[in-house]
Structures are given as C-alpha cells and as structure tokens.
C-alpha cells in the first residue's frame, strides 16, 4: 500500500464536529487504523472522524466514502462529515448537488445558496436486529438498559450506525463522559452504540449532548441529531420537523412522511489545508 505521506488533506468542522478529509481519488494510497490514530493525535491533526474519498463505484456518484473514527474504528455514517465533504466537493467541482456512496448507502447532498448543506440520510432502521441490539425487545422506542434504570427508557434507532437516545429532564445536567463511556460498550449493543441525552425545549426543539462511538464526546453529531428527531416523533414528544441544538450549534431535522427518509440541514466551516508528512505518521503501520 502506498504511503499517505505528501497527500493533501483538508480540515473542516460541522458545528464543531472535527472532520479530516482525505481525497484519495486517483491515488494508490490508503489509510490504515494505525495511520488514523497517528493523525488524530492531539499534536498532529486531531479529528473526530476522517472522511476518506475513493474513486466512485457507480457512474452517478462522485466518490465512495470510507469513515474512520479517531480510534481507528470504522463507521458506516457521519452526518456532519457528509456535509463537510459536500461543501468540499462543491468547492472543487462547482456542483451544488452530488451523490456519494457509503457503507450505509447513497448520500444525496445539496449545497444551498446560503452555504447550508442538506443531506438525505435515508430511512432509519428501527427493528432490534437492524440497530442492532443483542436480543429482542418488545418496543425499540422504550428500552430499559440494565444497570442504567435510573435514566429511564431509551429509544433506539440506526441511522447507518446504532443510536440510543435518552430523554432526560435536563441534558445539560447529565454526566455525559461517564455515562456515555459506560453505555457505549454495554452488552446490549454488540457493535457498540452512540449515546445521546436529549431534553425537550419545545415540541419542535431538542437540546442534545452526544457521546460518539469510537470518538468520545463531540460538539455535534449529525446522525445522533437525526436519531433524536426520529425518536422524538416515535415517543410522542415532537413533530417531524425539529431544531436540534448541540454544543456546536443547530441542525434542522425533518423526518419526511412521504418516504420516511431523514433530511438534515446545517452549516460547515473550513479550517485549513495542508499535506501529510512522514512525521505525522510516525509509528503507523
């Protein structure tokens, strides 16, 4: 495998969710979990997720995207990262509408005239096998997690990755780091899970704090916001259009009745660009 050294990168964020973009289209280079962990070190290129672009596999898409967390593990979906690569592609190609291929399926993106990016995140998967959970449950919108009964029932959904949303009186008062780290690896979640704590501001407004699987606490998580919007509807708390406020800012979530797809809209921000050096990859295999 060719080295990543000297390959260009772009650093962006989606509401503070730190995203590294590596465009490997036309390059023999690839990224290993060790290389991802090396790049994510605090003194190198710290990121929450790396969005790695490869040559498209279909004629109607612009790239196949692989998503790595900062611990080197892979994720099938990243909403904030998808908005960032849509902004990147719009800047490099001049197109405002594009399709990406991903392990979770096609990602339909539109960069609006005001710079906000809308992404069709597809339909949520709500059956226990599809989330997945380790055993059957009667209703995935009200699951008591053993050992965490004090939190009340969680609503479970997959947005290409597993999510558990706990609706609590005040999400700001929750010890997200302690509870998120413990719940992520709970035996109920055979593939681990993203853990969210949500409180209702209004029937169309949710406050959300997220512990991301493989990344830890982040300032924003697009798929978690989508799951919170879906789970707000499923538990009778919200309508199908909600603003989800995260520490990094707001996302607009619309769970469409017409096709059951979830549409997410929000901002992105360019930080800087550069080239990967051999020193950045020290210790990586």
User: Using an 8 Å Cβ cutoff, are 47 and 40 in contact?
Assistant: yes
Q: What is the pLDDT of residue 3?
A: 81
In this structure, CATH architecture of domain 149-260: Roll (3.10)
Average pLDDT over residues 110-131: 97
Joined tokens for residue 161: 């990755």
Closest CA to 160 of 270, 65, 241, 72: 65
Q: What is the pLDDT of residue 225?
A: 98
Q: What is the pLDDT of residue 285?
A: 61
Q: What is the pLDDT of residue 2?
A: 67
- 267 has pLDDT over 90: yes
CA atoms of 13 and 30, how far apart (whole Å) = 22
Residue 106 CA: distances (Å) to CA of 65, 76, 160:
10, 11, 11
Joined tokens for residue 44: 């190198």
- Tell me the per-residue pLDDT of 269-285, one tens digit each, with 9 for 90 and over: 999 999 999 999 986 66
Q: What is the pLDDT of residue 201?
A: 98
CA atoms of 157 and 171, how far apart (whole Å) = 19
> Cβ neighbours of residue 212 under 8 Å, at least 6 residues apart?
48, 69, 194, 218, 221, 224
> Cβ neighbours of residue 78 under 8 Å, at least 6 residues apart?
19, 49, 51, 67, 222, 223
CA atoms of 226 and 124, how far apart (whole Å) = 9
Q: What is the pLDDT of residue 104?
A: 86
- Tell me the per-residue pLDDT of 178-212, one tens digit each, with 9 for 90 and over: 999 999 999 999 999 999 999 999 999 999 999 99
Q: Which CATH number fits domain 8-121+268-281: 3.40.50.1820, 3.30.300.20, 3.40.640.10, 3.10.310.10?
A: 3.10.310.10
- 1 has pLDDT over 60: no
**Half-sphere exposure (Cβ direction) of 109: Cα atoms closer than 13 Å:** 32
Q: What is the pLDDT of residue 282?
A: 84
CATH 3.10.310.10 in the chain is located at 8-121+268-281, 149-260
**Residue 195: alpha-carbon gap to chain centroid:** 12
Positions annotated as catalytic residues are: 78, 221
Q: Is 272 exposed, middle or buried (0-12, 13-18, 19+ CB in 10 A)?
A: exposed
């Amino acid at each position: 495998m060719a080295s990543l050294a000297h390959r260009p990168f772009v650093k962006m964020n989606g509401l503070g969710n730190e995203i590294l973009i590596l465009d490997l289209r036309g390059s023999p280079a690839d990224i290993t979990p060790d290389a991802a962990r090396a790049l994510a070190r605090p003194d190198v290129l710290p990121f929450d997720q790396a969005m790695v672009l490869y040559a498209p596999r279909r004629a109607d898409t612009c790239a196949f995207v692989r998503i790595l967390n900062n611990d080197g593990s892979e994720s099938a979906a990243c909403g904030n990262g998808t908005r960032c690569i849509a902004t990147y592609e719009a800047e490099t190609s001049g197109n405002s509408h594009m399709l990406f291929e991903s392990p979770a399926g096609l990602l339909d993106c539109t960069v609006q005239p005001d710079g906000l990016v809308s992404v069709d995140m597809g339909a949520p998967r709500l059956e226990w096998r599809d989330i997945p959970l380790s055993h059957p449950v009667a209703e995935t919108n009200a699951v008591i997690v053993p050992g965490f009964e004090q939190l009340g029932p969680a609503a479970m959904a997959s947005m290409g990755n597993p999510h558990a949303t706990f609706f609590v009186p005040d999400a700001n008062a929750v010890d997200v780091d302690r509870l998120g780290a413990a719940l992520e690896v709970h035996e109920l979640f055979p593939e681990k899970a993203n853990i969210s704590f949500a409180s209702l501001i209004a029937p169309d407004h949710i406050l959300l704090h997220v512990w991301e699987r493989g990344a830890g606490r982040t300032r924003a998580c697009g798929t978690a916001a989508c799951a919170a919007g879906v789970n707000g509807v499923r538990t009778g708390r919200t309508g199908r259009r909600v603003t989800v406020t995260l520490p990094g800012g707001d996302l607009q979530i619309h769970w469409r009745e017409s096709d059951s797809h979830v549409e997410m809209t929000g901002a992105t921000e360019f930080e800087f660009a550069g080239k990967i050096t051999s020193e950045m990859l020290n210790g990586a295999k």
